Chains A and B, each alone.
Chain A
Amino acid sequence: AQSVTQLGSHVSVSEGALVLLRCNYSSSVPPYLFWYVQYPNQGLQLLLKYTTGATLVKGINGFEAEFKKSETSFHLTKPSAHMSDAAEYFCAVTSNDYKLSFGAGTTVTVRA
């Protein structure tokens, strides 16, 4: 079985500051990892994914994440926050079965 833990249910950043959202995973086999974003009353949109290969993954809207096997982490970052980044973010993991397991989510607020 696989699972993810997102550290921090709420993150508040100033516009232009670094965004860092933390995700740690647990998996008995090599994981496939994902970050999604959800805006109010909408479905989830894929930001980026890690399958195999390069451990630094670049996604949409300037986000990137780094897979660190030794730390079982897949933290999401963006160098400079924009007001439009205010949303809820979910980390997810699958291990080549039918299911994706999601974290509890982190809500990001951006201060002007």
Chain B
Amino acid sequence: SQTIHQWPVTLVQPVGSPLSLECTVEGTSNPNLYWYRQAAGRGLQLLFYSVGIGQISSEVPQNLSASRPQDRQFILSSKKLLLSDSGFYLCARRTGASNTGELFFGEGSRLTVL
């Protein structure tokens, strides 16, 4: 199984409030995990990736952070949301053992910041 669970599915938050989006992966152990964001009318922006517990690489300096407290759990957080944080957040895992495999995506979490 390559099921990826993301929650919440939709979220409306005021500016300045905190954020926690969770991603849980079923299947093989030690997957490479990714957080992407889709803003309206834009493509996919890679935010973070993780190759193991506690190992986080940030692609874009911003208001967000990520953590990987367990092998199959990847969390996206913010202490204070900005309007520009609105978007569709996608968690993904790499398939296969190599770095040439495709990504398998969850169904996404839609965040609206008001």
Bin the interface of chain B by size.
20 to 34
Pick the contact of B51: A32, A49, A92, A98 (CB < 8 A).
A98
In angstroms, Cα B104 to Cα A34, docked, is 12
Assuming the contacts A98-B57, A103-B43, A104-B42, asked whether A42 and B102 have C-beta atoms less than 8 A apart, the reply is no
Q: Kindly state the separation between the CA atoms of A51 and B96 in the bound complex, as whole angstroms.
A: 13
Task: Judge whether B57 and A44 touch: CB under 8 Å.
Answer: no
Contacting residue for B110 out of A34, A41, A44, CB 8 A: A41
Q: Does B107 count as interface, using CB distance less than 8 angstroms?
A: yes
Q: Which of B14-29 contact A (CB under 8 A)?
A: none
- Collect the chain A residues with CB atoms within 8 Å of residue B4's CB: 43
B residues lining the A interface (CB < 8 Å):
4, 32, 34, 36, 42-44, 46, 49, 51, 57, 59, 88, 90, 92, 94, 98-100, 102-108, 110
